[in-house]
Amino acid sequence: MSKPFSLKRSKTDWKRVDALRDEDIDLSDNPEVTPEMFAKAIVRRGLVAATPKEQVTLRLDVDVLKWFKSKGKGYQTQINALLRAYMEASRNK
């Protein structure tokens, strides 16, 4: 598979990046995990794996979609959660 053609040139100085040694990298905002930190880690067992999603085309009323979008990022997840709650409530009847 060939790489997609791009007119934009990378602004990264790759020669400088390649010359960096591990000890030259600033990890102050992302410190390494120490054995003590690892020992305090919480093991979460029994977590349900995310169910796979399927892309669909769905027609919604303009005002409904506008309202969900006004709630910000994640509006599609909110729509999915409401549909799931309705589905589960209908099953339990």
The range of the structural domain enclosing residue 66 comes to: 14-91
Helix, strand or coil, per DSSP, at residue 65:
helix
**5 occurs within a structural domain:** no
Torsion of CA 46, 48, 49, 53, to 10 degrees: 180
Angle CA(64)–CA(69)–CA(70) in degrees, nearest 5? Answer: 95
Count of domains observed in the chain: 1
- Using one digit for the tens of pLDDT, what is the confidence trace for 63-93? 999 999 999 898 999 999 999 999 999 987 7
**51 occurs within a structural domain:** yes
End-to-end CA distance of the chain: 52
- Using one digit for the tens of pLDDT, what is the confidence trace for 31-51? 778 888 888 887 777 777 778
Residues 78, 68 contacting (CB under 8 angstroms): yes
